[in-house]
């Protein structure tokens, strides 16, 4: 059964993303790849990767937000990531795109229940990234 909820990791694709991060030999480049979006419409997987990477960047540079899976919290505690202090600024544009009209994830939320909760979660994540980008 698929997971679906307003928090980033209430999505199976985002949960799968954690395994890829854990297996990555170069976490910084993996995060950069995850926040780098194509020029066209964003599919669900791209959107989930952007949000998962954004949550991870916040967890490493600030405090983990509520709802992060234990596997990710363990990874954050046990791994040193090359300096990623420049990534919040890079991530802002991609998170904004996830909330936009060319985002399959946003479209799905707009068509169903819980859109306002999802939007609030993503906006809160965006605000933290914005504050981290100004440090």
Would you tell me the crossing angle of helices 115-133 and 44-61 to the nearest 10 degrees? 50
Is the Cβ–Cβ distance between 91 and 67 less than 8 Å?
A: no
Q: What share of the chain has pLDDT > 70, as a percent?
A: 98
Which tokens hold the place of 38?
A: 């194509």
Question: Looking at residue 66, what DSSP letter applies?
Answer: T
Is the Cβ–Cβ distance between 97 and 43 less than 8 Å?
A: no
Is the Cβ–Cβ distance between 105 and 98 less than 8 Å?
A: yes
Would you tell me the crossing angle of helices 104-111 and 115-133 to the nearest 10 degrees? 140
- Residues paired with residue 103 on neighbouring β-strands, in sequence order: 42
pLDDT of residue 1: 34
pTM, two decimal places: 0.95
Q: Stretch 9-19: mean pLDDT, rounded?
A: 95
Please, where are the H alpha helices in 7-69? 12-23, 27-35, 44-61
Task: Give pLDDT tens digits for 20-36.
Answer: 999 999 999 999 999 99
What residue ranges do the domains of the chain occupy?
A: 12-133
């Amino acid at each position: 059964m698929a997971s679906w909820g307003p928090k980033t990791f209430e999505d199976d694709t985002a949960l799968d993303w954690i395994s890829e991060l854990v297996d990555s030999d170069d976490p910084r480049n993996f995060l950069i790849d995850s926040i780098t979006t194509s020029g066209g419409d964003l599919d669900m997987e791209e959107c989930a990767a952007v949000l998962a990477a954004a949550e991870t960047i916040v967890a490493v540079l600030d405090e983990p937000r509520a709802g992060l899976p234990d596997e990710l919290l363990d990874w954050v505690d046990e791994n040193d990531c090359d300096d990623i202090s420049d990534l919040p600024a890079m991530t802002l544009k991609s998170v904004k795109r996830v909330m936009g009209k060319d985002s399959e994830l946003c479209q799905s939320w707009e068509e169903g229940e819980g859109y306002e909760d999802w939007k609030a979660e993503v906006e809160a994540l965006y605000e933290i990234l914005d504050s981290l980008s100004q440090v």
